[in-house]
Chain A
């Protein structure tokens, strides 16, 4: 069965520093890989998605993620963190099992 592992339930970075949130998927390459963001008291919003068209995927708010099949990874990065990036981030996979599976989430804290 598919699963998603997010390393680090909490990540703290300084404002202006690189953001790196890690995600690894198991089993075969899923058709879709996603990163979602959840701000307090809100639903999940799509940041970006991978659909095999390109290994480097650019999303909203300056985020991007790189699909690496050899490492079964789909890490999320942003060159320079902003205070408004503080939120919880979820990696997810979607496949032909008709289920979208989410990781346990990483809470990003941005320090002034």
Chain B
């Protein structure tokens, strides 16, 4: 158990819908990263937050947004969903930006039908 909690573990929805994925980092970790893992794209970095502020952006679509709240949990919002958004979405945390390893949650598997 990494200490990073992601909900929901599985989610099935239809095209055009909107979903929210939630991540609780390890106790004391200030930095949260979101990744998308799909069969054809591998593990893609989406976005990073540090203590409530956006720190870095990767290959995140405009239909996707994220935020980190004062209690340090983070949410990834995916809207106008397309079939190609079906993937595993991982959250990871570290104690501070760019120091040491990422601790990963078990992921949220999104299926868009």
Contact = CB atoms under 8 A, between A and B. Distances in A.
B64 interface: no
Contact of A43 (B42, B58, B104): B104
Contact of A32 (B55, B56, B100, B106): B100
Interface residues of A, number: 25
Interface residues of B, number: 23
Interface string A69-112: 00000000000000000000010001111111111110000000
Contacts of A104: 42-43
B48 interface: yes
B94 to A, nearest CB: 9
Interface string B21-43: 00000000000010100000011
B71 interface: no
A44 B90 contact: yes
Interface in A15-58: 31-32, 34, 36, 41-46, 49, 51
Nearest to B109: A41
A49 B43 CA distance: 18
B98 A43 contact: no
Q: What are the 3 closest A-B residue pairs judged by CB atoms, nearest first?
A: A43-B104, A98-B56, A104-B42
Interface of B: 2, 4, 33, 35, 42-43, 45, 48, 55-56, 58, 90, 92, 97-98, 100-107
